[in-house]
Amino acid sequence: MTDAVLIETRGRVAVITLNRPEARNAVNRDVAAALESAIDTLENDPDLWVGVLCANSSGQARPVFCAGADLKAIESGQLDTLFTERGGFAGFAFRERVKPVVVAVDGLATAGGLEIVLAADVVVASTRSAFGLAEVTRNLIASSGGLFRLPRAVGQAVAMDAILTGEPIDAQRAFALGLVSRLVEPGASLDEALRVAERIAAAAPLAVRASRRVMRAAATADDEALRAMSDREFDALLGSADTKEGLAAFIEKRPPRWSAQ
């Protein structure tokens, strides 16, 4: 059985790879548990100072960093398996961390995939990347941080458009708006992310961690209240007829027939 998440060390850097390319790296039980375990390794190993999070997109006609939650798991009543107690969605979206994580995106990051990106500290992306929250097309909402982290990253107007339409933001625009910190050619995002991680690892680790704590605290002052509100809205939607229809339409590869119920 192939590991859902891979981890290797390169000096003081832990390289963590989402490894379900056949499922567009969608998050299932195995991914959530393994990603949380990989972050545990990063946090607990005193010789590791920085993480790089990337994805295996081999065999994909259109590269996908992560398509978010495995909707088949939601449809079959296994939603809770996509979350961990400490990390929330994918074992990462709300994980308390000391050490910084650089995410390397080389393809589409949508729904929970974008929420994983938004939970990282530095975003490196290729020009063929795109960033979206497509939950509304399945009668769901981005309840793992997307609804309040995306507006912080790109501004209220752009985020509202992307969230209500489900249409992704292309890499060039994401870079111009500040979601992406470094933009590179296709296939080069991991190499650039490693360069960023190595620069971070060369800096004073205590100063890096202190700087990160202050910046994260400034950005996340209201996250707990917003997370609780997102959870309530998500739970209300989950029991609706339209959510069942949205998930069935996705699995059956047909347009959904909404009833607003």
- Catalytic center residues: 115, 135
Cα angle 247, 107, 83 (rounded to 5 degrees) comes to 45
- Taking the C-alpha atoms of residue 163 and residue 141, their distance in angstroms, rounded to an integer, is 9
Quick check: helix, strand or coil at residue 109? strand
Which residues have a Cβ under 8 Å from the Cβ of 83 and sit 6 or more positions away? 32, 89, 90, 91
* Amino acid sitting at position 236: A
- Taking the C-alpha atoms of residue 100 and residue 210, their distance in angstroms, rounded to an integer, is 11
* Amino acid sitting at position 25: N
- Taking the C-alpha atoms of residue 46 and residue 64, their distance in angstroms, rounded to an integer, is 32
- Taking the C-alpha atoms of residue 82 and residue 89, their distance in angstroms, rounded to an integer, is 6
The DSSP element (H or E) to which 105 belongs, if any, is strand 101-105
- Taking the C-alpha atoms of residue 180 and residue 182, their distance in angstroms, rounded to an integer, is 6
Cα angle 228, 51, 214 (rounded to 5 degrees) comes to 55
Running DSSP on this structure, what letter comes out for residue 27? B
